[in-house]
Amino acid sequence: MDLTVVPIETGEDVEVVLGQAHFIKTVEDIHETLAEAAHQLHFGIAFCEASGPCLVRRSGNDPELVALAVRNAQAIGAGHSFVVLLRDGHPVSVLNRLKQVSEICTIFCATANPVQVLLAETDLGRGVLGVIDGGSPRGVESSHDEDQRKALLRRIGYKV
pLDDT digits (tens, 9 = 90+) for 45-101: 999 999 999 999 999 999 999 999 999 999 999 999 999 999 999 898 899 999 999
Q: Which residues contact 157 (CB under 8 A, 6 or more apart)?
A: none
Determine the Cα–Cα distance for residues 143 and 160; give it in Å rounded to an integer.
Answer: 20
Sign, CA dihedral 25-29-32-34, equals negative
Helix H segments across 42-135? 63-76, 91-99
Determine the Cα–Cα distance for residues 23 and 45; give it in Å rounded to an integer.
Answer: 14
Could you tell me the pTM of the whole model?
Answer: 0.92
Residue 87, φ and ψ in degrees, nearest 5: -135, 145
Question: Residue 130 in 3-state DSSP?
Answer: strand
Share of the chain above pLDDT 90, in %: 90
**Does residue 123 surpass a pLDDT of 80?**
yes
**For residue 122, what is the enclosing H or E element?**
none
